[in-house]
A and B are shown apart, each in its own frame.
Chain A
Amino acid sequence: MNVLAELFPHVVQNWDGVLQATGETLYMVGVSLLFSVLLGIPLGVLLVLTSPGHLVPMPWINKLLGTVVNVFRSVPYIVLILWLLPVSRLLFGTSFGPTAAILSLVAGAAPFYARLVETALREVDAGVIEAARAMGASLWQIVLKVLIPEALPAMAAGVTVTGVGLVGYSAMAGVIGSGGLGAMAYNYGFNGFQNDTLLVATLLLILMVQLFQAAGDRIVRRLDKR
């Protein structure tokens, strides 16, 4: 214990703070990942279905959606946070803290996940869709019974990628007082000259990403029957 206290004085002293920061990161990433997936799937499905040559080609809607997605994806996250400050003030009454951060995290990650969903759905063999049409399937049935189940492994892999991305974004959300490990590393570790806090916070983030990636890969392997 003595050795630990000597090597990581601030961490040992502020162990509760470290735990809390870990919890905040998990909360932010978890909730925003959930909403990103819930928004990203329908958005991705629409992007595919309305594209030229697909089941319900609607060039205007497709262009509009594509542009919106691209706008959100091209704005750097740190800038996106600033632009969304008034929105979160409007919605949550505050532009500060982890809940406010979730708004911008979703705004950054949902369009990204939507693109991953789009790519996954495009990979579904056109022949399978044709077979479903020949069976008399409705558009809704094709989406739910064919497109999504067939694309599920790729969509699951996309969740992993998005989640890992969100861990990174959540560190930047520290500027609006989101808390979390990233903010801890910056505020205490860098600005407060606590090298041990910087190190431990970094290690915890790495561990988090590793575990998340491993779990994701496992799920994808189980889903993939090809």
Chain B
Amino acid sequence: MIELHGIRKTFSTGGKTVEVLKGIDLSVQKGEVFGLIGRSGAGKSTLLRIINLLERPTAGRVVVDGVELTALSERELRRARQRIGMVFQHFHLLWSRTVRENIALPLEIAGVPKREIRQRVDELVELVGLTERADAYPSQLSGGQKQRVGIARALANRPHVLLCDEATSALDPETTDQILDLLRSINRRFGLTVVLVTHEMDVIQAVCDRVAVMEGGRIVEVGPVAEVVARPQTETARRFLQQGRAGQRGAYVSAFSEESKPVAAQASGVRAPRAAAETAEAYLRLDLAGITAPVVEEAIRRYAADIRLCEGSLAEGPDGVRGALVVRVAGTPEEIQAVTDYWKAAGVNVTAVAPVAERGVRA
């Protein structure tokens, strides 16, 4: 969906030139949520802005949706940009326009007829849950609400790609969760490709399929989130992971989370397409106290259902494992039943729980 080839970018200020991107090659698959993490100055935001050519690379090619943006004329580029949504850390809403009018702006720019604009704006306002505040001005909204407007605005022209520049960095943790949930559900519903820049590992773990770790204008590590979390290859990645775990969210199942992705997804690094067969899902709490057999791992290997670890913590003890896990099991009702039966037979205390997202905990 997005191909970056040999991207370099130098800025020159007052006779001094600084190379902020030192040759970046990157390919983002259609429908995935791709994270770019790095400290400030690592070049991640510049890289993001190069994808829609807000920033022109000094060298290299940018291809989005099969179109080489770097080869387009100004006019063609403007048309292409209409199909690339962008969400900003500080929202960048027009304070002179209401929620509705802000969301309408990209449609006006694209020359959509007035009637269609009204209809589309109504849809979008509902999608982001702001129907009641549709005629409010940005100054009357909370940060989370403003970002919802920003997201609705970015989606207005039905883009194929959504670029998020630190979209949650100005928000409190709870609001961050809500915005991330929204991004994730939009990604799933519309098969939208999302590229997300952040300096928080929590954000990456919450929504991303793959992640690239940036340092000093280079990508030093790239791979499925689960893989990078389980086996970070660089010091930079390890530091981000520590920062994530030091947070209050604490008990992540990071050591296990390579299993939290479907096996097919692990191989390609892409989230497996939501198969039509996956008609049901269940969130189950598995009490593993005293269990010695690797029942979760075994279930993942043996059963067709998609099993994902959501939260929990385990500790190895002399008498087996201690602790409990919450897993999401998805598939046909029969498949889910089969896995549940297997665990019960193995002596696991299985109880159904509310979906993790609804309890306000990040999976």
A interface residue numbers (CB < 8 A to B): 125, 127-128, 130-138, 141, 145-146, 149-150, 152, 223, 225-226
Contact = CB atoms under 8 A, between A and B. Distances in A.
A141 B54 contact: no
A135 B82 contact: yes
Nearest to B83: A136
Contacts, number: 68
B109 A137 contact: yes
A226 B95 contact: yes
B139 A135 contact: no
A128 B54 CA distance: 13
A134 B94 contact: no
B144 interface: no
Interchain residue pairs A-B with the least CB separation, the first 4? A136-B81, A131-B92, A136-B82, A127-B92
Interface in B88-122: 88, 90, 92-97, 105-106, 108-110
A103 B313 CA distance: 81
Contacts of B86: 131, 134-135
A188 B153 CA distance: 63
Contact of B96 (A127, A136, A138, A149): A149
Contacts of B157: 135
A138 B137 CA distance: 25
Contact of B78 (A138, A145, A152): A138
Contact of B94 (A136, A141, A149, A223): A149
A149 to B, nearest CB: 5
10 contacts: A128-B94, A130-B92, A131-B92, A134-B54, A134-B84, A135-B109, A136-B109, A137-B78, A226-B95, A226-B139
B139 A136 contact: no
B95 A225 contact: yes
A136 B54 contact: no
Interface residues of B, number: 29
B80 interface: yes
Nearest to A153: B96
Nearest to A131: B92
B288 to A, nearest CB: 48
A225 to B, nearest CB: 4
Contacts of A145: 105, 108-109
Nearest to B101: A149
B110 A136 contact: yes
B52 interface: yes
Given A134-B84, A225-B139, A146 B54 contact: no
Contacts of B94: 128, 146, 149-150
A141 B82 CA distance: 14
Nearest to A137: B109
B79 interface: yes
Nearest to A141: B109
B88 A131 contact: yes
Given A127-B90, A149-B96, A225-B95, A134 B81 contact: yes
B79 A136 contact: yes
B120 to A, nearest CB: 14
Given A127-B90, A225-B137, A152 B96 contact: yes
A125 B106 CA distance: 18
Nearest to B82: A136
Contacts of A226: 95, 139
Contact of B81 (A125, A128, A135): A135
Given A136-B82, A146-B94, A130 B109 contact: no
A149 B110 CA distance: 18
Nearest to A146: B94
Contacts of A134: 52, 54, 81, 84, 86, 163
B51 to A, nearest CB: 10
Contacts of A146: 94
Contacts of B84: 134
Given A135-B81, A135-B82, A128 B93 contact: yes
Q: Considering residues A131, A132, A138, A141, which has the most beta carbons from chain B within 10 angstroms of its beta carbon?
A: A131
Contacts of B54: 130, 133-134
Interface in B133-170: 137-139, 153, 157, 163
A125 B295 CA distance: 56
A110 B80 CA distance: 39
Given A138-B78, A145-B105, 20 more contacts: A127-B88, A131-B93, A132-B109, A133-B81, A134-B54, A134-B163, A135-B86, A135-B109, A136-B78, A136-B79, A136-B80, A136-B81, A136-B109, A136-B110, A138-B109, A149-B94, A149-B96, A150-B95, A225-B138, A226-B139
